[in-house]
Structure formats: C-alpha cells, structure tokens
Amino acid sequence: MPCIRYRTAISAHADGNPLPPGVTDLELETHLTACPDCRRWSKRLRALREATEDLRRHRRAGTPSKPV
C-alpha cells in the first residue's frame, strides 16, 4: 500500500480521528516499523503538534513560549 495512505492514517490518529477504511492499527504499526520515511514523517508531525499546543497554551496563559 502506498505511503500516502499510511500518512493519512498517521494524521487521523494524531487528530484523534478514526483510521481511514482499510487501515488497521496493527497494519499502521507494521508499516511504521518497516518504513523509515513514514517514521520520520510521524515524528515530525508529533513535534509540530506539540509545538502548536505549546504555543496555544502559552498564548492562553499570556506567557512566552519556548523557541521551536
């Protein structure tokens, strides 16, 4: 299966949404184990989401955020 399908699944999972039809949790984990490009993509997505959440928290609190 092409990586774009797994990247869509990674994004859905990160957003707390259901995986796309035809992709199971086990299949996604198996692909991530075998595909270094998708592992990197997933890691970058997590880092981006964490940085975005950090900015939102600090903006709500009125405090400076950490540099990215």
Tell me the pLDDT tens digit for each residue of 25-62: 999 999 999 999 999 999 999 999 999 989 888 888 87
Q: Is the pLDDT of residue 67 over 70?
A: no
Domain contains 66: no
Domain contains 30: yes
Residue indicated by tokens 């075998």: 34
Other Cβ atoms less than 10 A from the Cβ of 44: the count is 10
Domain contains 24: yes
Domain contains 37: yes
Biggest alpha carbon distance in the chain?
Answer: 45
DSSP-H helix ranges across the chain: 3-15, 25-34, 36-61
Structural domain harbouring 35? 3-61
Domain contains 68: no
What's the total number of domains in the chain? 1
Domain contains 20: yes
Residue 30 CA, distance from chain mean position: 16
> Is residue 6 within 8 Å of residue 38, measured between CB atoms?
yes
Domain contains 67: no
